[in-house]
Amino acid sequence: MRHYVIVGLLVIAMSVLAYFGAHIVWPMPVPASVQATPIDWMWNLQLIFISFLFSVIVVPLFYSLLVFRRKAGDGSDGEHMEGNTTLEVTWTLIPLFIVLAFAYMGAGNLADTLRADPNAMVVKVTGIQWSWKFEYPDYGVVSDELHIPVGKQVLLQMTSTDVIHSFWVPEFRVKQDLVPGRMTELRITPTVEGEFKVRCAELCGTSHAYMEKPVIVSSQAEFDAWMAEQVALAAAAAQTPEGRGQALVAANGCAACHSIDGSAGIGPTWLGLFGHEVELADGTVVIADEEYLAESIRAPQAKIVAGFENQLMPTYGFSEEQIADIVAYIKTLR
């Protein structure tokens, strides 16, 4: 009997220790969305049970190892204890009840994160190897940064042009894959102003690690100001070919592979590219003129630059005018 009392007390003590220890070793990021609240509540509840179950197993185990270990010179066997049906039924039924309760609460918990606001602002999100494109259909603005006003639900309507990506801002908690050929949705209501990052969570190829873009949560007034500025910038850029080209480049994430400052990347840099000689994989040398650049956008595998043999740049389906605009932009990078 004495053993059971000691172990019982130790289990309680260990559970408390394990619970606080777990919160220290395994912290969550700062919560920054309405959806984070039920998720963090569930996390805390899970930690309570984890700590208790951990202690229920580990304490009697180590207690036995210390107290019941074989003494030197003792050659006898242990007590012949075959089993106990009551005990087995108990430790089958109680966990069964607990997991069913968890599943029931988990369903309600999920519903809390899915709650829809009919007035949510729609943003269309496109995942591209290896960048993000955010379109605001109400404003006609396209950006590679996600700007959203605080306290207002945003409905992300997401798809991908190539492979599967996944939208995740750790501070918002919720995550959703972007699947080519279909539209997936995610609802987020930010509660904290600040700059976060969306990080692609589904392996999507060579530069998966770098598929990150800023997510800026600001007051409605700041958001409106940013949006007005974007509308004006887009209007100004639309006036010149290189302006339109720069907007296309930003929206399609070209910089994920092609640097504009001469640094090394997955694809050749664009800095000082136009008008210079380029050595191709088959050893020939060509001049990077307008025709070459247009061909390389239209059919990326037609001429491959030496050293980039294993990179498969996708075709983007730009129109001829758009290609001309992008070439015009590349020409400005000297």
Asked if 2 interacts with another protein (CB under 8 A), we say no
Cβ atoms of 256 and 211 within 8 Å: the answer is yes
* Cβ closest to another protein, residue 112 vs residue 193: 112
Residue count (the chain): 334
**61, 79, 91, 263 from 86: Cα distances, Å:** 21, 19, 9, 70
Q: Quote the DSSP letter at residue 117.
A: P
* Binding-site member from 239, 277, 282, 285 for another protein (CB under 8 A): 282
Sites for another protein among residues 144-173 (CB under 8 A): 162-164, 166, 168, 170, 173
Structure tokens at 174: 């919720």
Structure tokens at 169: 């801002």
Asked if 212 interacts with another protein (CB under 8 A), we say yes
Q: Which helix (H) or strand (E) holds 250?
A: helix 241-251
Asked if 277 interacts with another protein (CB under 8 A), we say no
Task: Quote the least distance from Cβ 202 to another protein, whole Å.
Answer: 6
d(CA 199, CA 211): 6
Q: How many residues bind another protein (CB under 8 A)?
A: 93
* Binding-site member from 181, 221, 239, 319 for another protein (CB under 8 A): 181
The distance from CA 70 to its chain's CA centroid, rounded to whole angstroms, is 52
CA gyration radius for the chain? 29
Asked if 203 interacts with another protein (CB under 8 A), we say yes
Residue recorded with tokens 């809390």: 112
**Closest by CA position to 303, among listed 318, 287, 319, 317:** 287
- Site mask, another protein, residues 87-116, x = CB under 8 A? xx--xx--xx--xx-xx-xxx-xx-xxx--
* Cβ closest to another protein, residue 291 vs residue 309: 309
* Cβ closest to another protein, residue 36 vs residue 247: 36
Sites for another protein among residues 36-65 (CB under 8 A): 38-39, 42-43, 46, 49-50, 53-54, 57-58, 60-61, 64-65
Asked if 200 interacts with another protein (CB under 8 A), we say yes
* Cβ closest to another protein, residue 131 vs residue 166: 166
